[in-house]
Structure 1
Amino acid sequence: MTERRVSLFVAGTKGANLLRALFDGPDAPAPGFFPLAQVHLVASYSSSGLSHDPRAEIMEICRRHGLLYRDRHELKTTDYAASDLVLLAGWQYLLPDIDDRFIVFHDSLLPHLRGFNPTVTALILGDRRVGVTAFRPDEGVDTGPVYGQEALAIGETARIGEVYEALGGAYARLARRLVERAAMGSLAATPQDHSAATYSLWRNEDDYTIDWTRAASAIRRFVDAVSWPYLGAKTRYRGAEIRIDRVMEIPDLRFPLRQPGKIWTLSGNGEGADVVCGEGMLRILAARTPDAQPLRFTSLRQRLGE
């Protein structure tokens, strides 16, 4: 068996969670994070669309463990020319000269949900099983042959932050297995079943908006799926945009004339509000004003979204 030299290209929450699980997690071996391997380089960059930038944590882990760090804008192919393996997690930029050393970690069980933010899509859909796939990149979108997968069962009310945290451990376990197999000369990939592929579209700021005509269960899943570390689901209240952080489904009432988005009653001295949905009802448990302060609902006769 031959010791492998590994470069890690990690970014965003998923990349930070992988790095933390590898070096600071309960299963992290000492003195290094891989048996039969050493980290040659860690590369990253600033991320947008999140409530915080995980690059600072990535850099701090590198500093604490004495790892060589390179920002994407300073990265040169010569920096990782000596690496036997290049593992990518949360990385969203094209790289030159991709070869067989590169292994991409994608947070779905391919071929299900190829594309963008698959775990967010999985939570919105109500999937109870998520996971990570490691594959060899090719010319398609997440179509390359698979080196391995790690599945994770999640609860009905799982929120994206806790799922990403758990997936960090799944990333780390899969990465260790693959590096060990590479050291033993037994790293092989299996083609995907392209006929079974599904896809996840990219999301932008418009996609955070709550559609109150949908069922309460679907809206609750949506709120959970775009909660921290993302910016949070949004709607309008008294003409201003607000962020909804947490909701719960409550028993429905019989409205012969149903008008989704209307507040039915306030709760908790204005800390929450019960809202009519296209089907069912939701209680808002936590919301924020445009300046990120906790919102107190003070006006009952309001229709959210207007």
Structure 2
Amino acid sequence: MSRRAVLFGYHNVGVRCLQVLLARGVEIALVVTHEDNPDENIWFGSVREVAAEHGIPTITPADPNASELFAAVRDAHPDFIFSAYYRHMLPVEILALAPRGAFNMHGSLLPKYRGRVPVNWAVLNGETETGATLHEMTAKPDAGLLVGQTSVPILPDDTAGQVFEKVTVAAEQTLWRVLPELLAGTAPRLPNERALGSYYGGRKPEDGRIDWRLPAQQVYNLVRAVAPPYPGAFTELGGERFVIARARLAPVGSPNLQPGLQVEDNALLGVCGDGRAIVIHELRHDGHAIDPAAFARLIHSSRHT
């Protein structure tokens, strides 16, 4: 049976899924990806570069509804369409161009965490498990029947970046495992019971602002969820912004300290509303790491100017 495909892909998951498709002998007629945003921290691999290494035609349309994109996919004559961390919903008219199906790789265990940035949300909410799911694409996001999924653990101190690395491997394993059946036309279709799941929207850098009145575990989950390479959890003091890049929950409480960022016994602490604290191992100011002494000097100076 014919195994010609168009891949919509971006980020590390897009890179690995492209490589799996090629390794399984799928003919990639066209790759659709994004132009990198110069204002974004590009810490991940390039789908465009991998496609170029294999001589695969690549386009980067800004609008998924553009007639030019529809024409390019139509003219590629795909049997399948795959999407792997492509950032736009694909119109049903494009999905219909693949007679053997259109499938998306999503970074959660659907039906949980449908929508945007699922790894970050899972860490923020204190989940202990997530994964990757391959599913049919429909008009609604992450709503189609499930073809396969692989779970990974979220350890108590894992950052979203570390979890994303695991999810990338889970995506690769899932596609590698189910692709032979998919190509043979025998892959399963399992229910995607949306009523039992959840949907989350996108996040903005401002969502990383810390509310020290919250319990320490919630603050720590926020720090982990947006730690570098993401923009980072931040607080403002004396008119200065500080980003917490690395931290750990303190083993004991600090009931006599006021909530907020402070130095105690030459250690940087973030004291929270429940009297517990996070011990800050890397604090950044103006893009540079500062130690407890430098932080204390900066705050003292700002209060006297």
**Superposition TM-score, scaled by structure 1 size:** 0.82
Residue in 2 that maps onto 1:89: 84
Picking from 289, 296, 299, the partner of 2:285 is 289
The answer to whether 1:51 aligns with 2:41 is: yes
Picking from 43, 52, 57, the partner of 1:63 is 52
Whole-angstrom CA distance in 2 between matches of 1:205 and 1:283? 22
Task: Specify every segment of 5 or more residues in structure 2 that has no aligned partner in the other structure, as ranges.
Answer: none
Aligned pairs for 1:201-212 within 5 A: 201-212=201-212
Q: Measured at CA, do residues 47 and 191 of structure 1 come closer, stay the same or move farther in structure 2, by a change above 3 Å?
A: farther
* C-alpha contact 1:131 1:167 (8 A) present in aligned 2: yes
* C-alpha contact 1:20 1:61 (8 A) present in aligned 2: no
Whole-angstrom CA distance in 2 between matches of 1:282 and 1:239? 22
Residue 18 (structure 1) shift: 3.8
Whole-angstrom CA distance in 1 between matches of 2:196 and 2:217? 27
Residue in 1 that maps onto 2:264: 265
Whole-angstrom CA distance in 2 between matches of 1:262 and 1:239? 13
Whole-angstrom CA distance in 2 between matches of 1:44 and 1:117? 18
Aligned pairs for 1:67-78 within 5 A: 67-73=56-62, 76-78=69-71
Residue 253 (structure 1) shift: 4.0
Higher relative contact order (CA 8 A, sep 6+): 1
Residue in 1 that maps onto 2:73: 80
Aligned pairs for 1:74-223 within 5 A: 76-81=69-74, 82-96=77-91, 97=93, 98-99=95-96, 101-223=101-223
Q: Measured at CA, do residues 180 and 188 of structure 1 come closer, stay the same or move farther in structure 2, by a change above 3 Å?
A: same
Q: Measured at CA, do residues 65 and 145 of structure 1 come closer, stay the same or move farther in structure 2, by a change above 3 Å?
A: same
* C-alpha contact 1:264 1:276 (8 A) present in aligned 2: no
* C-alpha contact 2:17 2:84 (8 A) present in aligned 1: no
Provide the aligned C-alpha RMSD in A: 2.7
Q: Measured at CA, do residues 57 and 266 of structure 1 come closer, stay the same or move farther in structure 2, by a change above 3 Å?
A: farther
Q: Residue by residue, what CA displacement relative to the aligned partner does 1:194-229 show, whole Å, maximum 9, x if unpaired?
A: 331222232112211112112222222211111233
Q: Measured at CA, do residues 231 and 262 of structure 1 come closer, stay the same or move farther in structure 2, by a change above 3 Å?
A: closer
Q: Measured at CA, do residues 266 and 273 of structure 1 come closer, stay the same or move farther in structure 2, by a change above 3 Å?
A: farther
Residue 4 (structure 1) shift: 0.9
Whole-angstrom CA distance in 1 between matches of 2:180 and 2:168? 18
Residue 285 (structure 1) shift: 0.9
Q: Measured at CA, do residues 141 and 266 of structure 1 come closer, stay the same or move farther in structure 2, by a change above 3 Å?
A: farther
Q: Measured at CA, do residues 262 and 19 of structure 1 come closer, stay the same or move farther in structure 2, by a change above 3 Å?
A: closer
* C-alpha contact 1:10 1:16 (8 A) present in aligned 2: no
Whole-angstrom CA distance in 1 between matches of 2:254 and 2:227? 30
Q: Match of 1:286, SS? A: strand
* C-alpha contact 2:89 2:141 (8 A) present in aligned 1: no
Higher helix fraction (1 or 2): 2
Task: Name the count of aligned residue pairs.
Answer: 286
**Superposition TM-score, scaled by structure 2 size:** 0.83
Q: Which residue type is aligned with residue 29 of structure 2?
A: H
Whole-angstrom CA distance in 2 between matches of 1:6 and 1:178? 16
Whole-angstrom CA distance in 1 between matches of 2:2 and 2:36? 32
Runs of 4+ aligned structure 1 residues displaced above 6 Å come to: none
* C-alpha contact 1:18 1:171 (8 A) present in aligned 2: no
* C-alpha contact 2:123 2:154 (8 A) present in aligned 1: no
Q: Using the aligned pairs only, state the percent identity.
A: 23
Whole-angstrom CA distance in 2 between matches of 1:126 and 1:294? 27
Task: Specify every segment of 5 or more residues in structure 1 that has no aligned partner in the other structure, as ranges.
Answer: none
